[in-house]
């Protein structure tokens, strides 16, 4: 992983040059639960000024090349300008975004991708929070010089995007939502910024025992990569309980 990250940094420096403020790693890779089969590499690239479309195309070609050398789920990367990081702007504008799910779109029609892959992303509040609490600067200015503290209201609103539809969605994405609901509850009740693994472990000590089997199965799939057959009715009951305790009806 380090060699891949070093290559990403080197190529970014070559392309962005003086416009590059810093490159910051967040997600499972900094939270001691990275799994090459289940995790992607999460990166935020901060620049001084907006990129031209030609500059974005040059950079995206590099990202696609490096992504091919990455883990199974690849790289997830956003480019943002420094002026939306400190002071923090929410919803947060971004200049460019890439993940493995967008690879075909870029390959099929790079001009369309470049013209449309920009806007505002509420998820960046969660990513910036991880960076300020537990992130790693791979290159450039230190985290505290680039990122302001994310307000709790913005972080919580960002988290809602992932869990608001959990009652229905947990049948299709059981492992992810089981663990994500747990870490959202840990933040809501204790202001803990946890990984999915840590969230699941925390929940085993803080929610009723009837849900422990589900959480243990999700942790086993996430950590060990085991194939798990879930009891979907139990998962939906868990989602209902967790959303009620988190307080989704308050919104």
Can you tell me the distance from the alpha carbon of 4 to that of 59, in angstroms, rounded to the nearest whole number?
16
Question: Nearest-5° angle of CA 136, CA 125, CA 135?
Answer: 10
Question: Model pTM?
Answer: 0.92
- With a cut of 50, say whether residue 250 has pLDDT above it: no
Higher pLDDT, 141 or 72: 141
Which residues contact residue 102 at a Cβ distance below 8 angstroms, ignoring those fewer than 6 apart? 113, 117
Which tokens go with 196? 């999915």
- With a cut of 60, say whether residue 38 has pLDDT above it: yes
Which domains does the chain carry? Answer: 2-152 (3.30.460), 164-250 (no CATH)
Give residue 248's pLDDT band: very low, low, confident or very high (50, 70, 90).
low
pLDDT averaged over every residue in the chain = 94
Cα→Cα distances 31→65, 114, 116, 210, 232, Å: 26, 31, 32, 28, 28
Closest alpha carbon to 246 in 209, 207, 216, 220 = 207
């Amino acid at each position: 992983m380090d060699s891949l990250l070093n290559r990403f940094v080197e190529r970014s420096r070559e392309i962005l040059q003086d416009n590059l403020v810093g490159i910051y790693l967040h997600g499972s890779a900094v939270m001691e639960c990275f799994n090459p089969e289940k995790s992607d590499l999460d990166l935020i690239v901060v620049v001084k000024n907006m990129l031209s479309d030609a500059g974005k195309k040059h950079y995206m070609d590099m990202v696609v090349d490096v992504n091919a050398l990455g883990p199974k789920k690849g790289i997830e990367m956003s480019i943002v300008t420094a002026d939306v990081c400190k002071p923090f702007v929410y919803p947060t504008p971004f200049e460019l975004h890439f993940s493995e799910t967008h690879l075909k779109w870029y390959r099929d029609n790079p001009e369309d991708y470049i013209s449309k892959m920009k806007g505002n992303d509420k998820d960046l509040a969660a990513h910036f929070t991880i960076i300020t609490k537990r992130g790693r600067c791979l290159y450039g200015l230190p985290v505290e010089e680039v990122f302001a503290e994310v307000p709790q209201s913005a972080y919580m609103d960002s988290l809602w995007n992932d869990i608001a539809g959990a009652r229905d969605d947990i049948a299709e994405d059981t492992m992810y939502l089981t663990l994500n609901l747990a870490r959202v509850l840990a933040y809501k009740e204790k202001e803990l910024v946890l990984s999915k693994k840590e969230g699941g472990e925390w929940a085993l000590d803080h929610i009723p025992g009837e849900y422990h089997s589900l959480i243990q199965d999700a942790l086993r799939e996430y950590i060990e990569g085991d194939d798990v057959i879930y009891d979907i009715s139990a998962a939906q009951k868990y989602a209902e309980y967790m959303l009620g305790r988190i307080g989704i009806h308050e919104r």
